[in-house]
């Protein structure tokens, strides 16, 4: 009879709709809202006498796609582009009777404001003045948020063994290696991707169900917390972490705010192919415990445990560019796609306590008052183990085996056929006398496939639409249940084999529309559907065998890797 326990959350996905409606009032002392997917470009236009220039046309050009957005300065000469996708832009300002003013190669970042002021000189509109943004253009006068922003190229080039963008959050000020931010616990961090909230709200923290995204072995709780779905470094255009003084548009938690944006396609096709390979043969060192002096116990001598050969392969490809050669439905369509795979055999050391040779023969060892272990043969007859004969023990209440049946034959069968002999005698595994250690190596392989896609389109210069999708599948074997006795088909006695898979497959749909209603009003709408899938399945019930008279649980606890 077999007992099976499963936990399944395939239908616990939820719809998270995030609607941000910012009304931007262009006035001398105006303030403009920011969302989790865009930045802001603003400034004031004056003449040579420092008087405001109303009615000037301001054109914001996306260098990557050549898409142009326009606005007009108000009566105070001020302008604002409140919903600008992260990227590189050029700004041109013109008005009849003045020379044109052009500023090139300006970087717009998520949640940040870029201030470009212009002083127009009297002259012909056909005369163009090329200038460089003055010092302080990126000075944040609209908020006092503490944090940093990393662009796509920096994310790719920075050392990152797991190649997941969220691991870079620990490089921010006031952040610990385990994700504690500005004095707040790691479960108070909020993760946003393309405006969607991908923070885990199932377990009440950010480390329980998202395991092994980095392919480092163990669980995510032993590393850095993350959102529900992984974010490969190759797929992220911009990564921002705010650790303190967040603005009013973010009030979800007291911890850090991690904001990410998926890469976009551009006017030109661009792509990448990559492979990361790590092997224990290159720079890996054995642990002190495994590499200690050989251990001796009586006539038993055990060699040291050598380092296990292991490797990790992470590979992928990306491609982005125009989806249609010509404008369709108002403008061009752009796409971006990224695939990333992980293959990790994950060989580790494994230990479990098993009955000693004397225990298998029905001879137990009990310490006396001086702490010396003495053998007691509980069988009705003498037994010989390793050339030593043990006579039946005399128990204080009479015969130790009054029924004279000896060791239970079912238990004896399990110990002899489904429990390997001990090969380690240390106090850390068993008591060293009745139960001793069985050491070996075990593979807990991890295989993952990650898919990222995004489409961008402008229905004219005032309507910007995007759609992104992410799907991730991880098949991960763990040490929660290990067969060391060759019980399951294909397994061998004395060869540990992990048999408890932990599959995960989260996915995320995000779509949004940014609309410039008029020069002073912009609306941003983001809708997302997040599905969090994980499954636990183990044959955790203790064996129940005919003739045993009850359930049998060998060792008293579940096997655990070391």
For residue 42, the 8-state DSSP code is E
- Across-strand partners of 450? 340, 472
Give the pLDDT band (50/70/90) at residue 543.
low
pLDDT given for residue 515 in this prediction: 86
Q: Is residue 59 pLDDT above 80, yes or no?
A: yes
Question: What is the topology classification, in CATH, of domain 31-131?
Answer: Immunoglobulin-like (2.60.40)
- Tokens 């661009």 belong to 270
- Which residues, 6+ apart, have CB-to-CB distance to 198 below 8 Å? 191, 192, 227, 228, 229, 508, 530
CA 406 from chain centre, in angstroms, equals: 55
Identify the CA nearest to 504 among candidates 234, 200, 266.
200
For residue 78, the 8-state DSSP code is E
Give the pLDDT band (50/70/90) at residue 206.
low
- Which residues, 6+ apart, have CB-to-CB distance to 161 below 8 Å? 214, 216, 278
pLDDT given for residue 548 in this prediction: 59
Q: What is the mean pLDDT of the chain?
A: 77
Query: What are the φ/ψ torsions at residue 556 (nearest 5 degrees)?
Result: 85, -5
Interval 233-241 mean pLDDT = 88
pLDDT given for residue 177 in this prediction: 74
Higher-confidence position of 520 and 361: 361
pLDDT given for residue 16 in this prediction: 34
pLDDT given for residue 27 in this prediction: 34
SS3 content of the chain, % helix, strand, coil (to 5): 5, 45, 45
DSSP-derived 3-state class of residue 175: strand
> Distances from the Cα of 353 to the Cαs of 116, 224, 310, 340, in angstroms?
70, 32, 25, 40
Interval 330-357 mean pLDDT = 89
Higher-confidence position of 338 and 383: 338
- Which residues, 6+ apart, have CB-to-CB distance to 425 below 8 Å? 295, 297, 300, 302, 432, 436, 437
pLDDT given for residue 453 in this prediction: 97
Instruction: Return residue ranges of the chain for CATH 2.60.40.10.
Output: 31-131
> Distances from the Cα of 123 to the Cαs of 13, 55, 99, 127, 408, in angstroms?
61, 17, 5, 7, 106
Give the pLDDT band (50/70/90) at residue 523.
confident
- Which residues, 6+ apart, have CB-to-CB distance to 18 below 8 Å? 195, 196, 197, 526, 527, 528
For residue 117, the 8-state DSSP code is -
Q: Is residue 23 pLDDT above 60, yes or no?
A: no
Gap between the Cα atoms of 112 and 188, Å rounded:
23
pLDDT given for residue 158 in this prediction: 85
As a dihedral over the C-alpha atoms of residue 47, residue 50, residue 51, residue 55, rounded to 10 degrees, the angle is: 40
CB 208 within 8 A of CB 221: yes
CB 205 within 8 A of CB 180: no
Q: Which two tokens mark 338? A: 């990224």
Write the pLDDT tens digit of every residue in 434-492. 888 888 888 888 899 999 999 999 888 788 899 999 999 988 888 888 888 888 888 88
pLDDT given for residue 97 in this prediction: 87
Write the pLDDT tens digit of every residue in 396-421. 666 677 777 778 888 888 888 888 88
Interval 156-161 mean pLDDT = 84
pLDDT given for residue 257 in this prediction: 82
Percent of the chain whose pLDDT exceeds 70 = 72
Higher-confidence position of 30 and 525: 525
pLDDT given for residue 249 in this prediction: 59
Give the pLDDT band (50/70/90) at residue 2.
very low
Gap between the Cα atoms of 401 and 408, Å rounded:
11
Write the pLDDT tens digit of every residue in 97-131. 888 889 988 888 887 788 889 888 887 766 667 77
> Distances from the Cα of 320 to the Cαs of 47, 106, 472, 536, in angstroms?
42, 22, 20, 37
Backbone dihedral region for residue 515 (phi beyond 0: left; psi -120 to 50: alpha; all else: beta): beta
Give the pLDDT band (50/70/90) at residue 522.
confident
Higher-confidence position of 289 and 233: 233
Higher-confidence position of 519 and 8: 519
pLDDT given for residue 146 in this prediction: 67
């Amino acid at each position: 009879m077999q007992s099976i326990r499963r936990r399944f959350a395939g239908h616990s996905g939820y719809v998270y709709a995030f609607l941000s409606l910012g009304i931007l009032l262009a006035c001398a002392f105006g303030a403009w809202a920011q969302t989790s997917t865009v930045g802001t470009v603003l400034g004031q236009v004056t003449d040579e006498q420092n008087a405001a220039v109303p009615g000037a046309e301001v054109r914001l050009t996306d260098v990557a796609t050549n898409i142009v957005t326009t606005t007009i300065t108000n009566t105070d000469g001020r302008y604002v582009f409140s919903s600008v996708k992260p990227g590189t832009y050029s700004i041109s300002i013109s008005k009849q009777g003045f020379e044109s003013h052009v500023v090139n190669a300006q970087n717009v970042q998520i949640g940040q404001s870029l201030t470009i002021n212009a002083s127009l000189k009297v002259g012909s509109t056909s005369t163009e003045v090329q200038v460089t943004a003055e010092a302080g253009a990126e000075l944040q006068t609209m908020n006092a948020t503490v944090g940093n922003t990393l662009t796509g190229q920096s994310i790719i080039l920075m050392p990152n063994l797991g190649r997941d963008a969220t691991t870079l959050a620990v490089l921010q000020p006031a952040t610990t290696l385990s994700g504690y931010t500005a004095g707040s616990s790691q479960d108070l961090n909020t993760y946003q991707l393309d405006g969607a909230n991908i923070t885990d709200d199932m377990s009440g923290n950010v480390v329980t169900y998202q395991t092994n995204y980095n392919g480092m072995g163990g669980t995510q709780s032993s590393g850095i917390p993350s959102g529900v779905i992984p974010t490969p470094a190759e797929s992220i255009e911009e990564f921002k972490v705010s650790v303190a003084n967040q603005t009013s548009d973010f009030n979800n938690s007291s911890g850090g705010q991690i904001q990410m944006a998926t890469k976009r396609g551009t006017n030109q096709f661009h792509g990448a192919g990559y492979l990361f390979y790590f092997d224990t043969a290159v720079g890996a060192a054995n642990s002190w415990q495994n590499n200690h002096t050989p251990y001796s116990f009586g006539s038993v001598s055990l060699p040291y445990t050598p380092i296990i050969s292991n490797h990790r392969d992470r590979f992928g490809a990306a491609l982005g560019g125009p989806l249609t050669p010509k404008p369709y439905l108002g403008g061009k369509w752009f796409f971006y796609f990224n695939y990333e795979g992980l293959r990790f055999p994950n060989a580790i050391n494994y230990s479990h306590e098993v009955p000693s040779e004397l225990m298998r023969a029905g001879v137990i060892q009990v310490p006396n008052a001086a702490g010396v272990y003495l053998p007691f043969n509980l069988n009705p007859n003498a037994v010989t183990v390793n050339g030593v004969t043990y006579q039946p023990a005399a128990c204080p209440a009479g015969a130790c085996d009054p029924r004279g049946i000896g060791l239970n034959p079912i238990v004896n069968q399990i110990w002899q056929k489904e429990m390997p002999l001990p090969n380690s005698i240390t106090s850390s595994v068993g008591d060293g006398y009745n139960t001793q250690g069985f050491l070996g190596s075990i593979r807990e392989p991890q295989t993952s496939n990650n898919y990222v896609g995004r489409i961008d389109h402008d229905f004219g210069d005032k309507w910007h639409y995007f759609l992104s999708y992410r799907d991730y599948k991880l098949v991960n074997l763990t040490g929660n249940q290990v067969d060391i006795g060759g019980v399951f088909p294909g397994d061998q006695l004395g060869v540990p084999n992990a048999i408890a898979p932990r599959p995960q497959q989260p996915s995320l749909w995000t779509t949004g529309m940014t609309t410039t209603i008029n020069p002073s009003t912009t609306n941003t709408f983001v809708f997302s559907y997040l599905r969090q899938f994980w499954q636990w399945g183990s044959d955790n019930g203790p064996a129940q065998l005919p003739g045993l008279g009850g359930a049998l649980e060998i060792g008293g606890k579940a096997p655990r890797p070391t």
